[in-house]
Amino acid sequence: MFDHFSRRAFIGASLVAVGTLPYSVSAIAAPQCVSGSLPGFLPNRLTVDCASRMNFRLFRQNPTDLGLAGVVSMTFVRGNQGSYSAGNLFLFPWLKAKGRARKIVWPSVAPTDATQFFQASPMPNNYLPVGDYFCQFVLKAPVSNFIGFELDAAPFEQGRAKLPWVTNVNKLADGKPVGINWTSSNLNRPWFGGNSCIPNTDTCNGLAWRKVIVDGLNQASVGAC
């Protein structure tokens, strides 16, 4: 269904969401960190909801079929599907070409809170920003409340691994690697001084955010509901 979704409509919806941000466009473009209603917000540890743990397990079981969108709530969030605390890690799958070709019903889920969830089909591809899709069309929550990144079960090859916006984690708590792309076309800019990438420096606590997210992925990789 989403394959036929209008790209113009998606971008328009994104612009409407950006228009709801509590600061001006010039503020977004300025080289300063913006943290909404929680200045300097950086949790010591993320919470990982039950749905995200289940989705991570599905991702591990089907590494050539699925990628994962990752987002973190930067404030308390109330969406159409539920309410979520600040500092929650969300993980939700998208279909790679092989996964789309299998034509099966994937047992992916989305949270209504930390322990409750509902059945939700994976995103059909990553042609449009997966973090935006997840927030707008799965959680049905304001994109302005989140930062985002993307995961693949396979580490990045040697050349790409040197790029500042990617990280290879050689072994999570489950003993397997993961490749992380720290960019999000729309989610990260308001929180990281206009940068679409969670920085690999201390700017806007970028390195600290990367560390706390990897810790959250470790939780997701071994935790059970």
Residue 23: pLDDT band with limits 50, 70, 90? very low
R_g over Cα of the chain: 16
* pLDDT recorded at residue 33: 80
Give the span between the Cα atoms of 112 and 110, in whole angstroms.
7
pLDDT tens profile 72-118: 999 999 999 999 999 999 999 999 999 999 999 999 999 999 999 99
Asked if residue 46 has pLDDT above 80, the reply is yes
> In terms of DSSP bridges, do strands 109-111 and 77-78 run parallel, antiparallel, or are they unpaired?
unpaired
Both tokens of residue 189?
A: 């800019």
> In terms of DSSP bridges, do strands 109-111 and 146-152 run parallel, antiparallel, or are they unpaired?
unpaired
Give the span between the Cα atoms of 86 and 20, in whole angstroms.
19
Both tokens of residue 202?
A: 């201390």
Whole-structure pTM value: 0.83
